[in-house]
Amino acid sequence: MESLPEAVLIRILAAIPAVDLVLVCRLVCCQWKNLVDGAALWILKCQQEGLTGAESEEDAENWQNFYFLSKKRKNLIKNPCGEEDLEHWGEVENGGDGWKIEELPGDFGKEFPSEEVHKYFVTSYEWCRKAQVIDLRAEGYWEELMDTTQPKIVVRDWYAGRRDAGCLYELCVKLLSENEDVLAEYKSETVTIPQDNDGSWTEISHTFSKYGPGVRFVRFEHGGQDTLFWKGWYGARVTNSSVTVEP
């Protein structure tokens, strides 16, 4: 192996699973350690798996982190569309007649832009709120990564109203420390949807970056109510919520 050209050895190493490269191959010898710590190996793995977008081909750590973050990218919100009723949602506030799950498009509603979404949560005539707290370490985002790389944390939510009823909607997301101190926060304005609106779905999003060390949890909360105080479920509709950690 020592006689192999470096370019050939890199191609051989690129066929090995990334976790094994870092935890096993890196410990074999100084040459392998340098290759695993270098940019060329991770650039090749990214190219082989169709991952693009790292900022600098000279930044080895950037490419390695980019690879791992891209492979791990997923929605950290569980049950974002109500397929499991209110499972995984905590701190549920059931104002009025409380939360309800309905099938799209619903009465006086519109279909969602994605055919993969089939249901939504709907609020009532007093404020309904619900939240999820995401444990980043439990999801595989280790402390050094969060403290030094500080990858982007991207939050998205979708809301709509009925065409025959006005409603209010709010979103609040907090980045929390080990002791649940608030290190960064995004709070939307209270969105007012008028009666006689067109029932279309609107996406709201926010990206946290350069938020400093210590982030261990993400707390996602949203909610709404109707503005006519009609008994039943005429308030804001929400679905397809997401929190992703991205390169």
Q: What is the pLDDT of residues 35-58, one digit of tens each?
A: 888 888 988 888 888 877 655 444
Who has greater pLDDT, 238 or 52? 238
Q: List % helix, strand, coil for the chain (3-state, nearest 5).
A: 20, 30, 45
Distances (CA, A) of 65 to 70, 77, 146: 8, 22, 11
Instruction: Report the predicted TM-score, pTM, of the whole model to 2 decimal places.
Output: 0.83
Mean pLDDT of the chain: 91
State the pLDDT at residue 2: 65
Q: What is the CATH number of domain 4-65?
A: 1.20.1280.50
State the pLDDT at residue 48: 86
Distance linking the first and last C-alpha atoms of the chain: 33
Whether omega before 194 lies within 30 degrees of 0, making that bond cis, reads no
State the pLDDT at residue 140: 84
pLDDT band at 70 (very low <50, low <70, confident <90, very high): confident
- Which of these, 172, 89, 114, 140, lies nearest to 244 by C-alpha position? 140
The residue type of 70 is S
The residue type of 42 is W
According to CATH, the topology of domain 88-244 is Jelly Rolls (2.60.120)
Q: Is the pLDDT of residue 59 over 80?
A: no
State the pLDDT at residue 37: 84
**What distance in Å separates the CA atoms of residue 244 and residue 242, rounded to the nearest whole number?**
6
**What distance in Å separates the CA atoms of residue 233 and residue 129, rounded to the nearest whole number?**
14
State the pLDDT at residue 71: 80
The residue type of 71 is K
Q: Is the pLDDT of residue 246 over 60?
A: yes
Q: Is the pLDDT of residue 61 over 70?
A: no
Q: What is the pLDDT of residues 77-133, one digit of tens each?
A: 999 999 999 999 999 999 999 999 999 999 999 999 999 999 999 999 999 999 999
Residue 157, both tokens: 């939510």
Q: Where are the domains of the chain?
A: 4-65, 88-244
Backbone angles phi, psi at 132, to 5 degrees: -135, 140
Looking at the DSSP bridge assignments, the partners of residue 154 are 207, 244
Domains 4-65 and 88-244 share a fold: no
Q: Is the pLDDT of residue 228 over 80?
A: yes
State the pLDDT at residue 54: 52
Looking at the DSSP bridge assignments, the partners of residue 158 are 203, 239
State the pLDDT at residue 86: 96
Residues in Cβ contact with 28 at an 8 Å cutoff, skipping those fewer than 6 apart:
none
